[in-house]
Each structure stands twice: as C-alpha cells, then as structure tokens.
Amino acid sequence: MVAENSTPHLHSAVEPRQTLRRRLDIIARAAMPSLFIVLVAVLLSAPFGIPGQSELQFGIAMCTVWFWTFSRPRSMPAWAVFLCGLSVEIFSFGPPGAVLLSLLVIYGVAHHWRYGLSRLGFVSCWLIFSFFAALASFFQWALVCIHAFALLSPAPGLFQAALTIGIYPSLTALFVWGRRTFANPDQA
C-alpha cells in the first residue's frame, strides 16, 4: 500500500516560482481582448463625426467576443463579456440592454460550439458569425421600433449588420496576429 504523499511533486520542481511581475503580465495579456473592446467603446463614443460610429462600436465588440470566445476562451470569460457589454452600453446610444444581450448570446453560441468552430475554416466561421450578427442587428432594430411605437426603416439595422459582417475578416487577421504575439499569456 502506497501512502498518498509518497510520490514527489514534479510540478513544483519543474515550474519556476512566478513573480508578481510575471503574474501581472499573464493577466494583462489574457485581458487584451476585453481591454480592446473597452478602448474602442470609449474612443468611438467621442464625437468624431464618422458615419456609422455607433454601428462600428457594436460590430467591433461582436467580432471580438466571437473570435476570442472560440479561439482562446480563457481570454474571454463570461464575466468579461458582461463587463464589456456594460461598457459598450454606457458609451452607446442604442436601446438599453440590446448590446449586452447580443454579446452574451454571441458568447454563448461561440462558447458552446467552440470545438466545432475551431475545426472549421475561416469562411464557415464567418458565415455562421454573419447569421448571428444579422440576427443581433434585427433584434436591436425591433427593440427600437417597439420603443418608438412605430415601424421604423430597417436601413440602420441592415447597415449595422453589413458593417459588422464586413469588418470581421480584418479584425480576424488582427486577432490572429495578436493571439500569437502580445495577447498570448503563454509568452509572458
């Protein structure tokens, strides 16, 4: 009979003790996607006069949550998505709760399907994302119509969906590069 503590602990002998600086570096690298969403929300809330500024804010948040949730879930946990959604809500002018709910839904889908999505090619992931981005844009348009007690033009919702779908390839290229470099906690 072997005692429980008779085996040596190889884990502590192989891995060096982490310093505070290294721990903070790992945390900062893992938080890069969330920090990116908050930074974009703050920047795009300024009155730059860019057409589609609030739609771009929503699109970048959606793309970021989708990509990081299925490619590196440790960097985009549910509580971070919630906080990012709150920050985008604070700095946006859409119907209250719509962005937050949309981000949580896209997180849930990407998290639930992450193993299947990671095996798919880029175009397949983009098509699946496109469906949910269009659905989220329709949801926001419907909420605005309900709030206004009128059937409003769907053009802003269609523009938001098209912009969100259109920026996904560019952001994916940026995120793939970031995943290998500055946002990689394993590089700390």
Q: What is the pLDDT of residue 188?
A: 56
What is the tens place of the pLDDT at every residue in 123-171? Answer: 999 999 999 999 999 999 998 899 889 999 999 999 999 999 999 999 9
Tokens representing 4 are: 């429980």
Percent pLDDT > 70 in the chain is 88
Closest-CA residue to 62 (of 167, 184, 152, 143): 167
Share of the chain above pLDDT 90, in %: 62
The answer, yes or no, to whether residue 8 has pLDDT greater than 70, is: no
The C-alpha torsion from 80 through 81 and 86 to 89, rounded to 10°, is 150
Q: CA-CA distances (angstroms) from residue 7 to 3, 10, 16, 35?
A: 8, 9, 19, 42
| Predicted TM-score of the model (pTM) | 0.85
